[in-house]
Amino acid sequence: MDQERFAKADNLAEDINEYFQKHQEDPDMIALKAQLQALVTGLDVRYSANIMLTLHVFDSKRGKTIDIFGVGLNAQPEGEPYLVTESDSFARYIVNGSITEIPHSYCPVCWAKCVFMKKGQECSSCGSSYGRNIKLLADNNECPNCLKGVISQEKPTCPECNFYADPDLVIWG
Ligand SMILES: [Zn+2]
Ligand SMILES: [Zn+2]
């Protein structure tokens, strides 16, 4: 999977979300919601149940799955089922020289669950190191850590999340 494919997955996720939301009032969906609610009604409050429509990508060579997106319904013992979404922002990395875009919670090399937070942090699964063979790509002024703040080479600290675009960690595209 290259950067382009993950961008496609991101688009598909949006369409899945739209599809699911659009059909909330369909009679079949209303019947499903009633069944889901009936499943947990009267149980202790520690229980809940979900129906989810999810997009995962699996790599048999890595033996790992990346969860891209999920949308569904959650029901608690009291109340009505409500809409839930599960998603992760995408991070852009330079990995061993090439651009890789992947959800934030995964190692871009081996796809293990790994959230890189600070320089020198290693993936416990493949030993990749943040700042050595994995670097963040800043190809615009969007903070590559929170995707909200604005940073530049002149002002490398993000006002939103305090991320410092250490030159050992960030490559400016
Ligand atoms: Zn890894
Ligand atoms: Zn930031």
Residue spans of the domains in the chain: they are 3-87, 89-173
Query: Mean pLDDT across the stretch 56-76?
Result: 96
The Å distance, Cα 44 to ligand 1 centre, comes to 40
Tens-digit pLDDT profile for residues 126-144: 999 999 999 999 878 888 8
> What's this model's pTM, rounded to 2 decimal places?
0.81
> Which protein residues have their CB within 5 A of the ion that is ligand 1?
107, 109-110, 112, 123, 125-126, 128
The Å distance, Cα 67 to ligand 2 centre, comes to 23
The Å distance, Cα 20 to ligand 2 centre, comes to 31
Reduced to 3 states (helix: H, G, I; strand: E, B; else coil), residue 123 is coil
Reduced to 3 states (helix: H, G, I; strand: E, B; else coil), residue 98 is strand
pLDDT value, residue 60? 96
The Å distance, Cα 6 to ligand 2 centre, comes to 22
What number of H helices and E strands is found in the chain? 2, 7
DSSP state of 24: T
pLDDT value, residue 81? 96
- Are 23 and 29 in contact by the 8 Å Cβ rule? The answer is yes
The Å distance, Cα 79 to ligand 1 centre, comes to 41
Ligand in closest contact with the CA of 164:
2
- Position 1 pLDDT exceeds 80: no
Question: CA 100 to CA 110: how far, in whole Å?
Answer: 12
Residue 31 is which amino acid? Answer: A
- Are 120 and 127 in contact by the 8 Å Cβ rule? The answer is no
Ligand in closest contact with the CA of 142:
2
CB contact set of 145 (below 8 Å; sequence gap of 6+): 136, 158, 161, 163
Tens-digit pLDDT profile for residues 7-36: 888 899 999 999 999 999 999 999 999 999
Question: CA 107 to CA 71: how far, in whole Å?
Answer: 23
Tens-digit pLDDT profile for residues 81-120: 999 999 988 888 999 888 888 898 999 999 999 999 889 9
36 dihedral zone (left: phi>0; alpha: psi -120 to 50; beta): alpha
pLDDT value, residue 18? 96
The Å distance, Cα 108 to ligand 2 centre, comes to 20
- Are 3 and 99 in contact by the 8 Å Cβ rule? The answer is yes
The Å distance, Cα 59 to ligand 1 centre, comes to 14
Tens-digit pLDDT profile for residues 29-57: 999 999 999 999 999 999 999 999 999 99
pLDDT value, residue 40? 97
